[in-house]
Chain A
């Protein structure tokens, strides 16, 4: 099966700085990776995804990096804003799998 681990349960950054949230997965056959943001009282919100045939993908102020050699995934948020404060989850699925395995989440706090 798949397991998804997390390096840090909490992260505090100064407003305007860049944030990096990390995730590690166990199954080398994992094919699809997603980052979600969850604010208090809400469901997870899709941020960005990446497939195993890529190692980097960029969105608006966010970048996801995938290192398949060490089975590591990271989310970079540029110029972090107070509105970025939330819990961030990585999720992983295998080829042909219909389920996502989630990490425990990193709570990002932005200091104004």
Chain B
């Protein structure tokens, strides 16, 4: 059974640009959550989607957005990138959300 797949693995962007990250969940999982991981703040919840609906959102500015498609694949977008957005962005999938979440390898975003 394939795990959670995130693409791309690495990205380098310039301040002010925007970026889109992709996540394909485990087959049969309908919930996708996104987390930001930095050395200083650790793992912080961004948002969670279930059946194409955002059910919960963390404490991040509106520059961070996401969506989920009918096949449960999800994307997150960060607009007007700032240096502080440099982080490992992790996607997790689960059947129902919150429980038994399985993570992908992450996308390492570097903003220069």
Question: At the interface, yes or no: B101 with Cβ under 8 Å from chain A?
Answer: yes
Residues of B contacting A: mostly? strand
A104: chain B residues at CB < 8 Å are 42
Instruction: State which size class the interface on B falls in.
Output: 20 to 34
B50: chain A residues at CB < 8 Å are 98
A22-B105 Cα distance, complex, nearest whole Å: 25
A44 pairs with B90, CB closer than 8 A: yes
The number of A-B residue pairs with CB atoms under 8 Å apart is 60
A100 to chain B, nearest CB (A): 6
A34-B35 Cα distance, complex, nearest whole Å: 16
B103: chain A residues at CB < 8 Å are 36, 43-46
Instruction: State which size class the interface on A falls in.
Output: 20 to 34
Chain B interface (Cβ within 8 Å of chain A)?
A: 4, 6, 31, 33, 35, 42-45, 48, 50, 55-56, 58, 90, 92, 97-106
